[in-house]
Amino acid sequence: MKRRQFVKEAALVSAAVATVPGNTLVAEEEISSRRLPRWRGFNIQPRFGWPGRPYDGPAFEEADFETMAEWGFDFARIPLWYWTWSSRDDWTVIREEPLEKLDQAIDLGRQYDVHINMNFHRIPGYCINGRAMEPADLFSDRKEARDRALDAAVLHWKTFAERYKDVPAERLSFDLINEPPWVKPYEGYLFERYDEIVRALVAGIREHSPDRVIFADGLDIGQTPVMEIVDVGVAQSTRGYLPKAVSHYTADWVPSEEFESFDVPTWPLKDDEGKTWDRERLNEVLIEPWKALAAKGVAVHVGEWGCYNKTPHDVTLAWMGDFLSLWKEAGWGWALWNLRGDFGVLDSGRTDVQYEDYRGHKLDRKMLELLRSS
């Protein structure tokens, strides 16, 4: 499923030792928001019944988890919209049936030894997609509205923390807010506001689940590490979507000002300002700043990354290879945006790939082997 399709659909309504890819062993008692295995895997979009649009089937395909495990991956990030179990008109509503569907992810993760990372892609008061659809803005509204949104966000995370309090840390983690907003030069207050939000959400979670591993996405839609929250004791989640001219070539849901060039991408890429994007530039922009965070004892993970299917396949693989090698050197895990769909290794819809049949799906074998080798 492409990211835009996921957004549109949403808008309609205990082992003592975990074995980690890369021959890394992390004892259960060592897993924390400051020390993580190098989890690698995929974002898995669940299916729920929406108000007025019921769906009676399972929220997850067991085959997805079976496939990940068979290929040697161990991490599934689950992007969630609170509208599925609540209402944007009444944030105090918590419906049980959708949460029961979500429980399936925990069961499948346990069965196939895949770590589950639950992320609020839309939280009361904020979403990177369709932000204005919220009745109040968690970040930039008047104080009364901001506080109301934060109280609701805490309520929802408390609900999850209590519901899953007995699930061990090596099986389940929480990712607070997907891709907090851009911080423009005149909006420095957003650092302070994000600090306030993170501390409130973490405190709410730890009331019920004190040992839960918690991720906070970087600011600037996940791209900028947040030094202000180092003392909170949360891991931080970065992104692998630069340059957009490569990762999102022709993607019409990305604002035009975010593209470095509109030409058919190459790798390395020379953008419209004459600057070269290559492995060295990726390291400078998206690795070194996060290494500075890691040096303060904060675990780093790449919560989303990938390349849209309109980018030439050879360019895609070359670009992915540079990111993967950098992350491997840094010791960071990652989650590709999807397993199946426009950014994935199955059913990606690319026109320049010789696919292999795999259990009824079209497999991009070259991409899969590149991922497995990382």
CB atoms within 10 A of CB 231: 11
Token reading at 367:
């991409």
* Residues spanned by the domain of 132: 3-372
For residue 13, the model assigns a pLDDT of 36
* 253-260, long-range: CB < 8 A, 24+ apart: 253/3, 253/4, 253/7, 253/129
What's the CA gap between 304 and 289, in Å, rounded? Answer: 17
Asked whether the predicted pLDDT for residue 18 surpasses 70, the reply is no
Mean pLDDT of 122-126: 98
Assign 260 to helix, strand or coil: coil
pLDDT at 43 over 70: yes
Nearest CA to 119 out of 73, 82, 162 is that of: 82
pLDDT class of 24 with cuts at 50, 70, 90: very low
Measured N-to-C along each axis, helices 189-208 and 143-163 cross at an angle, to the nearest 10 degrees, of: 30
For the segment 158-207, what is each residue's pLDDT rounded down to a tens digit? 999 999 999 999 999 999 999 999 997 667 788 999 999 999 999 999 99
Contact indicator for 75, 39 with CB cutoff of 8 Å: yes
User: The tokens of 218 are what?
Assistant: 């970087």
pLDDT over 90 (residue 341):
yes
Report the DSSP pairing between strands 115-123 and 126-127: antiparallel
Confidence of residue 49 (pLDDT cuts 50, 70, 90): low
According to the model, what pLDDT value does residue 238 have?
Answer: 98
- Residue 95 corresponds to which amino acid? R
DSSP conformational letter for 283: I
Cβ atoms within 10 Å, residue 285: 13
Check whether 252 has a pLDDT greater than 80.
yes
User: Does the structure show a pLDDT above 90 at 218?
Assistant: yes
The CATH code of the domain that includes 122 is 3.20.20.80
pLDDT, tens digit, 9 for 90 and up, residues 66-97: 999 999 999 999 999 999 999 999 999 999 99
119 vs 43: CA distance, rounded Å: 10
- Into how many domains does the chain fold? 1
What is the mean pLDDT of the segment spanning 300-306? 98
pLDDT of 62 reads: 97
Give residue 51's pLDDT. 56
pLDDT digits (tens, 9 = 90+) for 284-298: 999 999 999 999 999
Calculate what percentage of the chain has a pLDDT beyond 90: 85
Determine which of 181-195, 236-250, 286-300, 326-340 has the lowest per-residue pLDDT on average: 181-195
